[in-house]
Structure 1
Amino acid sequence: MRRRTRWAALLLAAAALAGCGSASGPASPSGGGTKKLVVWDWKSGDDATAAYLDRAKAGFAKRHPGVTVEFVAQPFDQYYTLLGTAIQAGRGPDVMLFNGGGRIRDRTDALVPLDPYVAGDRDRLTGWDAFREGGRTYAAPVTLQGHPIYYDKKLYEQAGLDPDRPPATWSAFLDACATLRKKTGTACVALGNKEGAGIQFFLSGLGSGALTDREYDDWIAGRRDWTSPHVKRIFELWKETDAAGLDNKGANSTALFNDAFALFSSGKAAHVIGLMSDVGHWKDFAEFLAPDDIGVMRAPVITAGATPSLPYDGGIGYAVAKWTPDPVLAADLVRSLTSRDALAAFHADAGAIVSDTSIDVPKDGPAVSAILSEIESGEPALHVALSSRTLDLMGRLSQQLLSGSVTVDEALRQLAVSDREG
């Protein structure tokens, strides 16, 4: 069975590599050959991004009328595996989409530094740091990605809680959870950790309420102390909340995307640490919940003196492959994909909080207004500072913590080693 699965993956990778920019001839605006750029992402197959891509392509076509742009939507759950195959082969798409953080930082050897090409967009866009490594920029941010804690105001009202005053401390949060369970019968927190990603949301969503300001800054700067009692407390709470029945049943067998979010939007859980881009966010939830019933709260204070804030970074961004025949042309496509006109469409249709925060976007309910008001004082998300290797390990250990097969101390010891080794 493993052999069949491996061959299936190899065949899929081979098929994906068939749609590569370098295989289509040089993409030069002035040279000969087929003028074509191939883009890999996991967004172009979504109806919600159609207008965004149409505007980006239209703007690019005005400047380069003889160039064809082909978007190839890859399945997200296999995206980085396919991309790794392309990188090993040294041929693939000209432009590719990345999540900010470790996913791109671990692959910068295969990318073109974009600093000379995006200098004019520095002040217009925000979220650049998530796509930087070694003082260089490797992708231009399209969206901002953060982890607000959403809560169901309607359930608060049913439980006799004030929907406009969510709990500000961890003890008050536990009291609210007990009341919600007693009065409504719902889980307090919707959690999905089947992919091992739930721990990332938990760490970043609650971290600013647990770490001191100095610890938070040191973590982001790479001076992480995994032995800190405040770091340990986050992982203890990860285990304790599940053991106490605050989470939905079977978190380790519940997919974060999109089963956990569905539990929240269907009224089966009162809180969820979600996203602010274009999935698992306020607009998704508003399909089932009235916009006025979706609240956003700061992390409850776990450690006295902590300063809760909205955790966010650059969300997704487009990068240029080192093997592209014409990096100048490819970089100009990236600029089109982050143009003001295109990003305005992304927000309007997908609800994404885009990297150009000067765009006058509609305030579709109190949740998005609350998120936008927090951006200026927000801090980088804790998990985004970690390497993809450490994130993968943290995902596995988070599942073992919930199952009881590893202790918090042992999990932190392994994470410290992984983080130190990069």
Structure 2
Amino acid sequence: MTDTSRTPRTPGRKARATRRLAVGAALLAAATALTGCTGAIDTTSSGSNSGGISGVIRVSSQTGQPYLKEAADQFQKLHPGVTVQFVQSPSNTYQTTVRAQLAAGHGPDVMFVWGGSGNSMATKTLAQAGLLEDLMSQPWASQLGDTATSLVSEQGKVYAFTSYQNPTGVVYDKDLLAKLGVSVPTRFSELLNFCRTVSSKGIVPIALGNQTGYLNTEVPIELANTLVYSQDPQFAQKVTTGAVTWSGSELWRSSLTKAHEQYVQMRDANCFQPNSTGYSDTQATQLVTSGKALGVDVISPAIDDLKQGNPNLRYDMFEIPATENPADTYLTTNTGAAYAVAKSSTNKATATAFINFLAQPEQMEAASKANYGVPYKSTPDATVQPEMQGIASLYQANKTALWPTNYWPNYEVKQTMIAVDQDLILDKKSVQEAVDAIQNVLHGA
């Protein structure tokens, strides 16, 4: 994967011998939202002033991350001797900054991390480097669903808490859509016509914040996920179990190629603002809030930025179609906010207690709502917020696929894709060159 929205995921506890196979299988099953957390997580031990919970903990997160400050305030009230200090970094520098701090031995006590192994601050990547504390003995660790467990575990141990997934797609101004006389496209050909019509009226159809690294890859990933999973809903599971490899799968390579061809077609149809690589994620959302763009392709937590930027607008969300059959479309999701304790923390008792506090049912619900998340698997009582009703039918049908970054063997693949997709959108690389570069990094995987 991703990001994100969602409810906690917990690692299943089974016999050691069978557990690793279960974790592996669940990892790819996550791509189709195989299982989620449907029951409450018992964290009764986290609400009392137990011994050792005192002093200062430093919590690292991306700038503007909603909910976390409120949770910290509540935690400090429960534990009067505790001080929670926040250290925040912008999304485009967070991974580099915090990873360097950890490597130097003076990182945060608690940090925001990603699931899987797709970047330098992903749970598996950090665990493999020996930078995270094992949290497997915590009360929530056996109650995360298989999907969540697979994303935050390594070698049979759980290293982070995570509770929801975040839909990825185009968040748009509903009233401007009506004013422009266009409708949400459900076929790729309709998408291109949609872009031509909207742009001809002086409005950017889909703003992109491609200066913020990973956003260079967002549209191609959404397109590729639909192309892959509409043909093989079990693709993720097959990759995880080794039945299929990234470098050997013709379905993956052909879908990746077509997705990049479509990305170029969208650029040429004026779907995006000129020089999208010169816009950060914040600047791209500002194009929508100022009325200069109809929508912006984002992960759902950015809805909060849009609402703060212009609370008078009414928002909804749609997934980019990649085929001529609306039934093919899959909703791309990202792992929601996950939190881990640094191995180097000098106040692990308090840091771990804070994680346990975040795992309480009422805190999980608050986090998911604040970050516009949804549970990993749709259940009858799972709600989709009003600003995401356009993707509700896909989610409720469990037609979801996590970002492939959650399954890639290392974060170099993502960095390569970010670089080549930037060159592609700037017309400095061909589709073939971009795909070859990505596949070369995936060689053997």
Query: Which amino acid letter does the alignment assign opposite residue 55 of structure 1?
Result: Q
1:178 corresponds to? 196
1:50 corresponds to? 69
Matched-pair contact (CA < 8 Å) for 1:111–1:320: yes
Could you tell me how far apart the structure 2 residues matched to 1:205 and 1:150 are? 14
2:263 corresponds to? 238
1:194 corresponds to? 211
| Alignment map for 1:38-187 (pairs within 5 Å) | 38-42=57-61, 49-59=68-78, 61=79, 68-76=82-90, 77-101=92-116, 102=118, 103-104=121-122, 105-108=124-127, 109-119=130-140, 122-123=143-144, 127-162=148-183, 166-182=184-200, 184-187=201-204
| Alignment map for 1:218-233 (pairs within 5 Å) | 218=235, 221=239, 223-224=245-246, 225=249, 228-233=253-258
323-332 vs 391-400, which deviates more?
A: 323-332
Could you tell me how far apart the structure 1 residues matched to 2:390 and 2:163 are? 21
2:273 corresponds to? 248
What is the aligned counterpart of 2:402 among 380, 385, 400? Answer: 380
Describe the superposition over 1:97-154 as per-residue Cα deviations: whole angstroms up to 9, x where unpaired: 2133323222112112322214466258974443234444321015532313223332
Matched-pair contact (CA < 8 Å) for 2:230–2:329: no
1:271 corresponds to? 295
Could you tell me how far apart the structure 2 residues matched to 1:47 and 1:137 are? 25
Structure 1 position 317 matched with structure 2 position 338: yes
2:19 corresponds to? none
Larger radius of gyration between Structure 1 and Structure 2: 1
Matched-pair contact (CA < 8 Å) for 1:208–1:309: yes
Structure 1 369/297 Cα, relative in aligned 2: closer, same or farther at 3 Å? closer
Matched-pair contact (CA < 8 Å) for 1:117–1:332: no
Q: Select the structure with the greater relative contact order (CA < 8 A; seq sep ≥ 6).
A: 2
Matched-pair contact (CA < 8 Å) for 2:228–2:235: no
Could you tell me how far apart the structure 2 residues matched to 1:153 and 1:382 are? 30
Query: Which amino acid letter does the alignment assign opposite residue 190 of structure 2?
Result: A
Could you tell me how far apart the structure 2 residues matched to 1:281 and 1:243 are? 27
* TM-score normalised to structure 2 length: 0.72
What is the aligned counterpart of 1:339 among 360, 370, 373? Answer: 360
Secondary structure in 1 aligned to 2:328? Answer: coil
Secondary structure in 2 aligned to 1:171? Answer: helix
Could you tell me how far apart the structure 2 residues matched to 1:72 and 1:266 are? 30
Structure 1 404/214 Cα, relative in aligned 2: closer, same or farther at 3 Å? same
Structure 1 409/83 Cα, relative in aligned 2: closer, same or farther at 3 Å? same
Could you tell me how far apart the structure 1 residues matched to 2:391 and 2:304 are? 10
How many pairs are equivalent? Answer: 378
Could you tell me how far apart the structure 2 residues matched to 1:198 and 1:44 are? 17
Secondary structure in 2 aligned to 1:148? Answer: strand
1:19 corresponds to? none
Describe the superposition over 1:313-333 as per-residue Cα deviations: whole angstroms up to 9, x where unpaired: 422211122234575653332
1:10 corresponds to? none
Could you tell me how far apart the structure 2 residues matched to 1:79 and 1:283 are? 18
Could you tell me how far apart the structure 2 residues matched to 1:214 and 1:268 are? 37
Could you tell me how far apart the structure 2 residues matched to 1:317 and 1:72 are? 16
Could you tell me how far apart the structure 2 residues matched to 1:420 and 1:213 are? 24
Structure 1 371/337 Cα, relative in aligned 2: closer, same or farther at 3 Å? farther
Query: Which amino acid letter does the alignment assign opposite residue 175 of structure 2?
Result: K
Could you tell me how far apart the structure 2 residues matched to 1:266 and 1:276 are? 19
Note the residue ranges of structure 2 that are not aligned, 5 or more in a row. 1-48
Could you tell me how far apart the structure 2 residues matched to 1:332 and 1:273 are? 36
Matched-pair contact (CA < 8 Å) for 1:314–1:355: no
Structure 1 133/273 Cα, relative in aligned 2: closer, same or farther at 3 Å? farther
1:418 corresponds to? 441
Identity across matched positions, percent:
20
Could you tell me how far apart the structure 2 residues matched to 1:174 and 1:161 are? 12
Deviation at residue 69 of structure 1 after TM alignment: 3.8
Matched-pair contact (CA < 8 Å) for 1:130–1:313: no
Describe the superposition over 1:208-248 as per-residue Cα deviations: whole angstroms up to 9, x where unpaired: 33224455643573532477322101111222322332211
2:46 corresponds to? none
Deviation at residue 202 of structure 1 after TM alignment: 0.9
Note the residue ranges of structure 1 that are not aligned, 5 or more in a row. 1-27
1:258 corresponds to? 282
Could you tell me how far apart the structure 1 residues matched to 2:255 and 2:231 are? 12
| Alignment map for 1:392-407 (pairs within 5 Å) | 392-407=415-430
* TM-score normalised to structure 1 length: 0.76
Could you tell me how far apart the structure 1 residues matched to 2:89 and 2:253 are? 38
Could you tell me how far apart the structure 2 residues matched to 1:85 and 1:235 are? 32
Deviation at residue 416 of structure 1 after TM alignment: 1.2
